[in-house]
Structure 1
Amino acid sequence: MKLYQGLTQVQVNEEMADDAPDFKITTDLVKPLHYAPSELYHYLDAVLKPGSRHDQNNLKYVTDAAFIGENFDFNSVPFTAKMKDFEAKMAFARNLVSDLNRHVAVNINTQDLTFELLFVD
């Protein structure tokens, strides 16, 4: 699955992994992400409807950098609020699309209380 699917569709005790108080998120990857999983969660929370199916969301917010640059409210998320100029916003959008569309497997380790993102690099 793609990272945005793993972050939005896999839950721990009916909570998103980022909201599950006892779980930590780990990554197993070769090529690093541009943004931390917690930052990606904040972005996804701002643009996708919680609990909705993918056909009910505007997936351009995870697949189209130009659309994101033109339509995303950069003030809606603390880590993007500082981005003011066009170049910074577009660099963010390109890097975001790159991160969210990477292929990943998700493992929920109940013994270690870990939400493991296993990237197929």
Structure 2
Amino acid sequence: MRERIERNALRGAPMIWIRTSLAATGLAVATAIPASAEIVASTCRLLSYDGNITSVETFRCDFMQRGGNVMVNSAEHEFSFLAAEQGETYIRINSIPLRFTRTGEFTLEVTQSPWLR
């Protein structure tokens, strides 16, 4: 009786190994495929600092975020904010509007919605 139980237990072992391997492979493939980022039509407001002079420009832009990295593009401007550089080369404030500041250079405000005037 004991031998039969041991043989039956050993028969199921390869199936457990196969299921575990398939699950691990599926998880590895799912995490390796980069997630696509949605492009959101937005309104941008750029405050540029030049000494005591601050210029303000409002324009249409596209906002895209993937893995914490942000890209904001328009016909006139391109901005890239890498997640690894947050707090080092720029400050991000998660509010409405979303704000990115490069101290002494500019602040970019992004409102994720169609064109606002």
Greater Rg by CA = 2
Instruction: Using structure 2 for the length normalisation, give the TM-score.
Output: 0.22
Structure (1 or 2) with the greater helix fraction: 1
Instruction: Using structure 1 for the length normalisation, give the TM-score.
Output: 0.22
Structure (1 or 2) with the greater strand fraction: 2
RCO higher in structure (CA 8 A, sep ≥6)? 1
